[in-house]
Chains A and B, each alone.
Chain A
Amino acid sequence: MGLKQNLHNFREKNKDKKWLPAFSAIHTFLFLPNETTHNGTHIKAADDLKRTMNTVIMAMVPCLIFGMFNAGYQHYLAFGEIQQATGGFLSSEFWTLDNFLVGFWKVIPLVIVSYVVGLAIEILFAIKNNHEVEEGYLVTGMLVPLIVPIDTPLWMLAVAVAFGVVIGKEVFGGTGMNILNPALTIRAFLFFAYPTWMSGDKVWVHGAVEQDQLIAAGQNVDAISGETILGSLAQGKSVAYDVMDMFYGLIPGSVGETSTLLILLGALFLIFTKIGSWRIMLSSVIGALVMGLIFNGVVSSGWITESSKFYGLMSTEFWHHLLIGGFAFGTVFMATDPVTASQTTKGKWIYGFLVGFISIMIRVFNPAYPEGVMLAILLMNVFAPTIDHYVVQGNVKKRMKRLKAKVA
């Protein structure tokens, strides 16, 4: 008898124990269950919920690993211990073991806290409600560490994850029933609850906050400014990074969102495996470009002067918006969440377009917090069912008309 059979027997023997959902969650994560459906007509496909979730996680792994290197790179760069990488994406200054280790020890705790707290709550609710643990948290748990600043205190992350999973998901009935994207709910909670840890010029580079505290304590050390590009632009400062650095991701930012190149890779993987909707990604990019062009138009027609507080971000070339901030990451991994996005084909176009459009709008008009993509996606999550409703009603009307024409 192999391990698989043993596990199966163990499961059978404890069928009516309260903690069984917790066991089978881990069991079915590792093995296919022995029992399958025997009668009725079913469509058979390899991609069940777990496979789907795992595919998304695979698409995010490059971003995660890059994020670890980048965390170390930004850290050493800010402390003046290494030179700015000049060789582009494959710079030898970037891909060093030192960089990786710094990032690894900072990022892995974030991943662990996110998964342990999130899964503990999922299992608790599953036991309480007597249903199987659903796989919904697998992707959320990986998204969360990628979209927070590197120095986020772990207890804050734990509080936010607990809030996001309970209020964002479990109150609506668990996986598949949620209105808002849970990962973004977690981030929004962090942002509104602890704004000093989620914005400004100190939190994006590991060590900058500590350095700041040392200065406050009267020690003679240099302050570190790790402003994100969006942050600098919102304050009307010039940006020190060139476009290729933005594209490769050698810039400060949340852990896994900086590298547009690797996000693009993940996007292609998601589109190729038909997990992520290319319609949402494409229409979102179009929406962002349109809004960017409108703002560029406003600037070039002279309706706004350089003294305006919106000037910095409005005059940013429209296609730069795709490379900076969390836009690319949000569009590819969060806006395409099949639970919270629109379901209809036409609805996906509208939904995606508005996500992109509103993201850039919030970026420009909210200099206090120039990252619009989080709020734009949450807002559109709320509107997604409405969009679907009207798309479906529109279709019903069209077909009714056709029916009438035939009868007449």
Chain B
Amino acid sequence: MGLLSKKDANLILDPLADNNPITIQVLGICSALAITAELKASIVMAVSVLFVLGIGNVVISLMRNIIPSKIRIIVQLVVVAALVIIVDQVLKAYAYELSKTLSVFVGLIITNCIIMGRFEAFALGNGPWRSFLDGIGNAAGYGLILIIVGFFRELLGSGTLLGFKVLGDPIEKTGLYAIGYENNGFMLLSPMALIVVGIIIWIQRSRNKALIED
């Protein structure tokens, strides 16, 4: 990364792996369980959070010296809410079906702990450029897990990826279905999303023992 100093690059790279908001900080689990049954929804959610957190972090960072600390949570909420409404309206205008799938969960980005967490922990104490990188990094770490979970849940649960029937047609009995394969309905239920996240955490921590807490 020639563009960024090593310290700045780590703002983006750390949340992708060793300081991932979902698997290490265990934040934002709620939406990770709710909307990952389809890969498409996961991707849209990831992009939405990327937008909200990237811009939000910059805005909060710019205002950090003028926000009275007693009402900072309210100010943060207003900023997130404004950004979320923009995302919500854009989705409704250009991807109505998808916005119905995501339903309340776009609105609930407001309460996503990752966003408030980054505002509190980072944007309030750092300049706009670094806050932007931090926001992008954390949102990407969140989105990465969402996409991995969405990939496995859609592939094993519905036999499709982004809506394409990659494993064959379950009704026509083509592809894998011809030899008796069946979709795993459990994958579409939220408990299985938790288990998939758990397995990712398991793999990650067994590869890097330093992450294991006592």
Contacts and interface: CB of A to CB of B under 8 A. Distances in A.
Interface of A: 153, 155-156, 159, 167, 171, 189, 192-197
Contact of B185 (A153, A159, A167, A192): A192
Nearest to B180: A153
A201 B140 CA distance: 48
B180 A194 contact: no
23 contacts: A153-B180, A155-B180, A155-B181, A156-B182, A159-B184, A167-B195, A167-B198, A171-B198, A171-B202, A189-B186, A192-B185, A192-B186, A192-B189, A193-B184, A193-B185, A193-B186, A193-B187, A194-B182, A194-B184, A194-B185, A195-B185, A196-B182, A197-B182
Among B185, B198, B202, residue most surrounded by chain A Cβ atoms (within 10 Å)? B185
A193 B157 CA distance: 9
A89 to B, nearest CB: 37
A189 B184 CA distance: 9
A213 to B, nearest CB: 10
A195 B202 CA distance: 28
Nearest to A191: B186
Contacts of B181: 155
A178 to B, nearest CB: 15
Interface string B183-202: 01111010000010010001
B90 to A, nearest CB: 36
Contacts of A171: 198, 202
Among B182, B189, B195, residue most surrounded by chain A Cβ atoms (within 10 Å)? B182
B202 to A, nearest CB: 7
Among A153, A159, A193, A196, residue most surrounded by chain B Cβ atoms (within 10 Å)? A193
Contacts of B185: 192-195
Contacts of A194: 182, 184-185
Contacts of B202: 171
A193 B180 CA distance: 15
Given A159-B184, A167-B198, 15 more contacts: A153-B180, A155-B181, A167-B195, A171-B202, A189-B186, A192-B185, A192-B186, A192-B189, A193-B184, A193-B187, A194-B184, A194-B185, A195-B185, A196-B182, A197-B182
A158 to B, nearest CB: 13
B172 to A, nearest CB: 13
Contacts of B180: 153, 155
Contacts of B184: 159, 193-194
A171 B205 CA distance: 13
Contacts of B198: 167, 171
Contacts of A197: 182
B37 to A, nearest CB: 14
Contacts of B186: 189, 192-193
Contacts of A189: 186
Nearest to A155: B180
Contacts of B182: 156, 194, 196-197
Contacts of B189: 192
A349 to B, nearest CB: 30
Nearest to B185: A193
A165 to B, nearest CB: 14
A375 to B, nearest CB: 13
B131 to A, nearest CB: 37
A26 to B, nearest CB: 27
A171 B202 CA distance: 9
A156 B183 CA distance: 10
A224 B56 CA distance: 62
B193 to A, nearest CB: 13
Contacts of A155: 180-181
A196 B185 CA distance: 10
